Structure 1
């Protein structure tokens, strides 16, 4: 095979349809648009979601809910997750390295799910009232 013999596969290339170029082409006069009507006119077509004047679906259904873009920066960690960590001082960086929170997390909160038996100190991490009591009962501390 040489560079000057390379060709596209058979049937891969076909001529573009040239409409409105006379009777002999087979696509003259109406140029494939049929006769009359909105779709035959230039610039004539309805907007997306238009239902012929009927109230469109996106307006018939009620608006519902809201999802804050700030939620991706918040994360939760359970007491059982903290218990499995082999670290005494826990901060956001430690949790990111352990894969317990996402890399975008800025604020982390400990929730009371599971149990904790090890003493851990939380730095720059908040905790729910129940989680804080459980951590302090295990000999740990929540530093604000």
Structure 2
């Protein structure tokens, strides 16, 4: 095999349409742009314009609210943490913090901390130092002999 023998499979790629090359080409004269007007010109994009009628995005009412101060937790189930302990990625003797979970590959980035959720089973006795935990997760962890310390300072678990 030589470099000049290499080619695509027949029919796998088409030549591009050369617009504006005569009426017989099928894309001649106006080059597929219709006739006249602003949109026949190059570099024009009138997004959402409806010919002077009130555009749809202005006719519809505004909805919803985005809270810029919302907390964005990494939500981790106790079953996922137990799997990391079983795989040897998480040290059962050290406290479980955001740093240890990132090192174990359970979460990828810190965000606003970790919230432990109660799906799955936990058998290991672990000490958690996390931002938040659900009531079910706290019950499961304390049932296995572990402890949960909330770092947010909230009296009620989030």
TM-score bracket, normalised by the shorter chain, equals 0.5 to 0.7
1:76 maps to 75
Aligned in 2, Cα 1:99/1:92: closer, same or farther, shift over 3 Å?
Answer: same
Equivalenced residue count is 104
Gaps of 5+ in 1: 1-32, 40-44
* TM-score, normalised by the number of residues in structure 2: 0.54
Select the structure of larger CA radius of gyration: 1
Q: Is residue 56 from structure 1 mapped to residue 47 from structure 2 by the alignment?
A: no
Gaps of 5+ in 2: 1-34, 39-43, 86-90, 151-158
Structure 2 Cα separation of the partners of residues 59 and 100 of structure 1: 44
Structure 1 Cα separation of the partners of residues 55 and 49 of structure 2: 6
- Higher mean displacement: 100-109 or 114-123: 100-109
Aligned in 2, Cα 1:55/1:131: closer, same or farther, shift over 3 Å?
Answer: same
Aligned in 2, Cα 1:124/1:111: closer, same or farther, shift over 3 Å?
Answer: closer
Deviation of 1:121 (Å): 0.6
* TM-score, normalised by the number of residues in structure 1: 0.59
Q: Is the 8 A contact 2:74 2:115 kept in 1?
A: yes
- The alignment's C-alpha RMSD in Å is 2.9
Deviation of 1:124 (Å): 3.4
> Which string of whole-angstrom CA distances, capped at 9 and with x for unpartnered residues, describes residues 86-106 of structure 1?
222210001111222232423
